[in-house]
A and B are shown apart, each in its own frame.
Chain A
Amino acid sequence: MKFAIQINQSPYTHQSPDTAYQFTLAALKSGHEIYRIFFYHDGVLNGSGFTTPPQDERNVVARWSELAEEYGIDLVICIAAAQRRGIMDADEAERHGHAASNLAAGFRLSGLGQLIEAGIEADRLLVFGG
């Protein structure tokens, strides 16, 4: 089965990114495919690469990056939602004159079309947090 996941809430304030992660992990370990994870609204903060929690605490952002690397998952951040919240890759940061970029490894910036396409291509679209 092909799953698409949409995440709308920020980590550390809300539980939904954790639930989405546990669902994704369980689906992958059961042999299912995750077609794409789309981060929208405050959910884009899941891709904030400067996130630095204490070392003995789960790192929600790094956990996504590791999952993307291990399973080759497409992690897509809504570019409009990201700009409002200061999440930028190197190109965007340069274009807007910022000193550094902070998009975490394994994530990419794109538009809402990616969410629509995921909804069409996947067998199921699950929405977490709203």
Chain B
Amino acid sequence: MLHIINKSPTNSPALKQCLKRAQQGSSILLMEDAAYALISKTEASSQIKQHMNRVSFYVLEPDIKARGIGEKIISGIQRIGYNDFVKLACSQHPVQSWF
């Protein structure tokens, strides 16, 4: 299953709720303002780290670049473009967006 989050963790409980319910082996794609959740030494990124052993995390590279946070995000996150986003959506079923 692919979970998609597009909101900043400071504006929305989506990430927290998703992490609580995402099952082993599922994938989470962070895009748009959700990319801010990956900045190291924040509450959101430390929560993400706790789930890395059971969930795969992805982020849209253009959104990281647009926000100038490429150097600040935690390691272990797969940075992908739109073509890989399409491939991810093909390989996972179902796809669920969290708001």
Cα A27 to Cα B4 in complex, Å, equals 17
User: Given the complex of chains A and B, what is the CA–CA distance between A1 and B86 in angstroms?
Assistant: 10
Total number of residue pairs linking A and B with CB closer than 8 Å = 52
Which of B15-23, B38-46, B49-57, B88-96 binds A?
B88-96
**A16 and B6: CB pair below 8 A?**
yes
- Does A72 touch B at the CB level, under 8 Å? no
Closest approach, in angstroms, between the C-beta of A38 and any C-beta of chain B?
14
What's the interface size class on B, roughly?
Answer: 20 to 34
Q: Which of A18-26, A74-82, A93-101 contacts B (4 or more CB under 8 A)?
A: A18-26
Q: Is the interface of A mostly helix, strand, loop or mixed?
A: mixed
Contacts of B83 in A (CB 8 A): 26, 29-30
Partner of B82, one of A1, A22, A130: A22
How many interface residues does chain A have, given as a range? 20 to 34
List B contacts of A125 (CB < 8 A).
94-95
Q: Is A129 an interface residue (CB 8 A)?
A: yes
Instruction: For A129, list chain B residues within 8 Å (CB).
Output: 6, 99
Q: Is A52 an interface residue (CB 8 A)?
A: no
The B-contacting residues of A in range 78-130, CB under 8 angstroms, are 123-130
Q: Mark A9-48, 1 if CB is under 8 A from B, else 0.
A: 0000001100100110111011010000000000000000
B59: Cβ under 8 A from any A Cβ: no
**Contact among A1, A3, A15, A130 with B99 in the assembled complex (CB-CB below 8 Å):** A130
Q: What are the residues of chain B within 8 A of A29 when measuring CB–CB?
A: 83
Distance of A129 Cα from B81 Cα, bound (Å): 19
Query: Which 4 pairs of residues, A with B, have the shortest CB-CB distance?
Result: A130-B99, A26-B82, A127-B97, A22-B82
